[in-house]
Amino acid sequence: MRRRTAAAATLAAALTLTIAAPAPAAPAAPRPSPGSEPTLAAKLIGRQALAANDGWAAEGAGITGGATATADRVRVVRTRAELVAALGGDNTTNATDATPKIVYVAGTIDGFEGPDGTPLGCADLADPEYSLPAYLAAYDPAVWGRVNPSGPLEAARVRSVATQTAQTQINVGSNTTIVGLRGAKLTGLTLMIDRVANVIVRNLEFSDARDCFPAWSPTDGDTGNWNSQYDQISVRRSEHVWVDHNTFTDGDNPDDAQPLYFGRPWQVHDGSLDVTHTASLVTASWNRFVGRDKLMLIGSSNTVGPDVGRLRVTVRHNLFDGDLQRLPRVRFGQVDVHENHYRLGGAGFEYALGVGVQSAIHAENNFFTLADDVDPADLIHDWGGTALTERGSWVRRGDRLPRPVDLRAAYNAVHDPDLGGDAGWTPTLRAAPPLPTPLVPLAVDAWAGAGRLPL
Ligand code: CA
Ligand code: CA
């Protein structure tokens, strides 16, 4: 902190000198404020590749993002419009812009910013024929029954979703690095990484990727559920993606502040980092996920098809702080979950590791700090899988001393059918030998999340 303060003082002194100098004849450019221009360190980080062997994203050709960008494709962006411009100029076609590019985010960018920067509300995005009161009246299970909504109001909702998607889903092309400058935040938007390769996202705070038009799914669960369309980052049909040193929250719009409709929570949020639709070779490192519900879904369908052999993800050195489920939930993929710190418990907690159909989770040296209400036997949830490799876990529950716990044995002791102990593969893409588990929370709590990289 002291070093940063000194740097800020130096910068402030430099600005003061600039201002004290004789005024130039031309109109002054907007005065830069701290965090608005890339420092030398930020410039180095913008061009940094993922280290060799550092998780699944490093496989094969590895990942460089926008490291080779020419000067005209290195931008600092402060608004949604500038972000879209830096990613290629047109949100409807930016996914196909494969020119190497580095995008520095300064300050807060809100996906709901209209073309002139004015914030839009949900009413601005709604189809003229959609209204929530009419929707609730039409599809109340007491009236409509427990079948999927259909008809004009549902069609109007779907049109509204399309309008919101065009506004708040920001499409990212291949060969891109996005780095947040100090304090940078992306709120009310989704980074969509679909049908591309070689993307790096670092040092950003993601908050409140909210859906204005959640869908009613009457047969989801025992009594139906509202579901949101929007993740904070979605990775689909893509490979070589590195998501590093970011913070994910619901901002000032937490799930527990939402109303109930049809007796179920109005769910305006979906995943933080969902990897689906045959995506693969993703590394998520040093991220901080705070107070979120459906966190990381790896594989979205039980269909035995093109996901087989894909969905390979490394999840290392992340802090899962007060999250409820999917930490991660896995289908099909070989997923290496190592040296993460989980702080879990309290209202709504469901599970950490979701063992889904044909999943192959290798969980190693993870540390679980649990509230008294969480039984270590419930950290694993079986979603139709058969086995996971799990070793080196430590648990600190309530005020008790930390101790090694065989989570799989604890699970098997109280749940059936038992899960086997061999996921069928051993990770080789590791940049360093694992830390002893008791050291994991020290390292992760200090270094995970936005604002920790030296820039
Ligand atoms: Ca999702
Ligand atoms: Ca059992």
- Separation of 299 CA from ligand 1 center, angstroms? 10
- Separation of 304 CA from ligand 2 center, angstroms? 26
Q: Compute mean pLDDT per 10 residues along the chain, 455 residues long, and list them.
A: 41 36 46 69 96 97 97 97 98 98 98 94 98 97 96 98 98 98 97 98 98 97 96 98 98 97 97 98 98 98 97 98 98 98 96 98 98 97 98 97 98 98 98 97 98 93
Nearest ligand to the CA atom of 274: 1
Task: Let me know if residue 212 belongs to a domain.
Answer: yes
pLDDT at 25: 46
- Separation of 418 CA from ligand 2 center, angstroms? 5
- Separation of 229 CA from ligand 1 center, angstroms? 7
- Separation of 96 CA from ligand 1 center, angstroms? 22
- Separation of 189 CA from ligand 1 center, angstroms? 13
Cross-strand bridge partners of residue 191: 170, 233
396 catalytic? Reply is no
Count of domains observed in the chain: 1
Task: Let me know if residue 22 belongs to a domain.
Answer: no
Cross-strand bridge partners of residue 396: 369
Nearest ligand to the CA atom of 380: 2
Query: At a CB cut-off of 8 Å and minimum separation 6, what does 31 contact?
Result: 15, 19
Nearest ligand to the CA atom of 326: 1
Nearest ligand to the CA atom of 417: 2
Around ion ligand 1, residues with a beta carbon closer than 5 Å are 231, 270-271, 274
Helix 152-168 × helix 132-139 angle, to 10° = 140
- Separation of 292 CA from ligand 2 center, angstroms? 30
Q: Which of 193, 195, 234 is nearest to 211 (CA)?
A: 234
182, 326, 329, 343: the active-site residue: 326
CA-CA distance, 137 to 130, in Å (whole number)?
A: 12
- Separation of 76 CA from ligand 1 center, angstroms? 29
- Separation of 148 CA from ligand 1 center, angstroms? 19
- Separation of 296 CA from ligand 1 center, angstroms? 8
**170, 190 in Cβ contact below 8 A?**
yes
For residue 133, the surrounding DSSP H or E stretch is helix 132-139
**78, 109 in Cβ contact below 8 A?**
yes
Task: Let me know if residue 173 belongs to a domain.
Answer: yes
Q: Is 285 left (phi over 0), alpha (psi -120 to 50) or beta?
A: beta
Amino acid letter, 341: H
- Separation of 432 CA from ligand 2 center, angstroms? 35
- Separation of 410 CA from ligand 2 center, angstroms? 9
Nearest ligand to the CA atom of 419: 2
Nearest ligand to the CA atom of 233: 1
Q: Which of 235, 391, 363 is nearest to 310 (CA)?
A: 235
- Separation of 415 CA from ligand 2 center, angstroms? 4
pLDDT at 35: 57
Task: Let me know if residue 249 belongs to a domain.
Answer: yes
**337, 361 in Cβ contact below 8 A?**
yes
Task: Let me know if residue 138 belongs to a domain.
Answer: no
CA-CA distance, 350 to 216, in Å (whole number)?
A: 21
Task: Let me know if residue 452 belongs to a domain.
Answer: no
Copy the structure tokens of residue 384: 């139709």
List the CATH number of the domain containing 442.
2.160.20.10
Nearest ligand to the CA atom of 235: 1
Task: Let me know if residue 132 belongs to a domain.
Answer: no
Copy the structure tokens of residue 195: 């049908």
pLDDT at 24: 44
pLDDT at 33: 55
Copy the structure tokens of residue 131: 């209204």
Nearest ligand to the CA atom of 232: 1
Task: Let me know if residue 51 belongs to a domain.
Answer: yes
Copy the structure tokens of residue 193: 């990484």
- Separation of 354 CA from ligand 2 center, angstroms? 17
Domain that holds residue 247: 37-118+167-447
